[in-house]
Amino acid sequence: MHSGQLVFAQLMEFLPRHEFNTCVRRYGGNRRHRGFSCRDQFLCLAFAQLTFRESLRDIETCLRAMGTKLYHTGFRGKVSRSTLADANRTRDWRIYAEFAQVLIRRARELYAGDALGVALAQTAYALDSTTIDLCLSLFPWAKFRRQKGAVKLHTLIDLRGSIPCFVRISHGKMHDVTVLDELPIEPGAFYVMDRGYIDFARLHRFQEHSAFFLTRAKKNFDFTRRTRRDVDKSAGLRSDTTIGLAGPKSSRLYPDPLRRIAFVDGESGKRFVFLTNNFTLPALTIANLYRCRWRVELFFKWIKQHLRIKAFYGTSKNAVKTQVWTAISVYVLVAIIKRELKLNRSMSEILQILSVTLFEKTPMFQALTAEIPQCAQDSFPNQLTLFDL
């Protein structure tokens, strides 16, 4: 990257071009679309996410105002709101979903060595969902209630780096627990989730795949106590027991023993009861690991505040999924450049700086760190000083 490149072009260099073209060819994305390629579409939507554009007309007006600069940022087709709308409606959203997975794998490699905040060597994930409200008259396919539409974003994040690994976009009526049927289970990993995901038949899949789950127990939970272990009550622990399910149906669906840990938070005084199929970690580590589940809530809060996923540029299911996956790609891209360039700024600060510098000819590292190169200060070493300060 040299100083003559636009910041937007420097940013797009972090995207693997070959992998993107592979995803396009797999789904025939450029078929019958010679004047406006899938890359043009992705650049338009990435620009919209980075600069907080509100509509297709807004995207068209701002990009056309850049004139010849568009060519130097990678655009090859003419930017038009009608063409972009057609592309969002007709081009397979799986192109951008698979490309996002390419970026996710790269980001997870960069953040694999990050501290988790808990004494845990294994990979740990947090699972949750968020609801995005929609107008039912504009999105009739997204039925949620009688006069309300919505989609759900089911997300599994890697707790090291808060990188989304698995994303499922569904209609608002889909129950959270059903996403466990589609969840890829990694042997030896921990999956942290709230009590809305308690379904013992589905939780037994983690046991069968040699993975561990951690969740909260429901109040009407029926069990029999088998053994108990001593706990340090000064640390907030109240009990650590091995139990078996007592209900006739639940004991059949989950015949193996479970571990039940009772914990009282010292700050709020709230009592928590955890269930897990791991019997080796200390009870306090289990309790602290559950605290990390809030990072998936922070992830949802961040993307809703800083990216465009609550209002959409198209009303079709394909357009909504394309926009969501592009937003996730932008989130992961910002995480990648933060680590690649070793930036000390937060991701929100990086996004804000990029939003106002995309079409400036400045080295991206300089724009994001506000560091002035040494050569700029000594460009005229023989120049006499006119005034002494």
Structure tokens at 295: 């990072």
Task: Categorise residue 300: left if φ over 0, alpha if ψ from -120 to 50, beta otherwise.
Answer: alpha
Q: For the chain, which residues make up each domain, given as ranges?
A: 7-95+314-371, 194-292
Structure tokens at 24: 């396009």
Per-residue pLDDT at 68:
85
Residue 215 backbone dihedrals phi, psi, to 5 degrees: -145, 175
Per-residue pLDDT at 385:
53
152: β partners: 131, 170
Contact of 62 with 84, CB cutoff 8 Å: no
Contact of 321 with 314, CB cutoff 8 Å: no
The parts of the chain modelled with pLDDT lower than 70 are 1-3, 33-34, 371-389
Say how far residue 357 (Cα) sits from the centre of its chain. Answer: 24
Per-residue pLDDT at 35:
82
Q: What is the DSSP letter of 52?
A: T
Say how far residue 227 (Cα) sits from the centre of its chain. Answer: 40
> Angle of helix 347-357 relative to helix 317-340, nearest 10 degrees?
100
Per-residue pLDDT at 182:
93
253-277 burial, b if ≥16 CB within 10 A, otherwise e? ebeebbbbbbbeeeeeeeebbbbbb
Per-residue pLDDT at 384:
56
Contact of 256 with 205, CB cutoff 8 Å: no
Per-residue pLDDT at 376:
44
Per-residue pLDDT at 67:
84
Contact of 193 with 128, CB cutoff 8 Å: yes
Residue 263 backbone dihedrals phi, psi, to 5 degrees: -145, 140
178-207 burial, b if ≥16 CB within 10 A, otherwise e? ebbeebeeeeebbbbbbeebbbbebbbebe
Question: May I ask the CATH architecture of the domain 194-292?
Answer: 2-Layer Sandwich (3.30)
CA distance 135 to 138: 5
What does the chain come to in residues?
389
Residue 130 backbone dihedrals phi, psi, to 5 degrees: -135, 150
CA distance 351 to 41: 20
Per-residue pLDDT at 247:
84
For residue 84, what are the CA distances in angstroms to 76, 80, 90, 296, 345?
Answer: 13, 6, 10, 32, 33
Structure tokens at 304: 């809703």
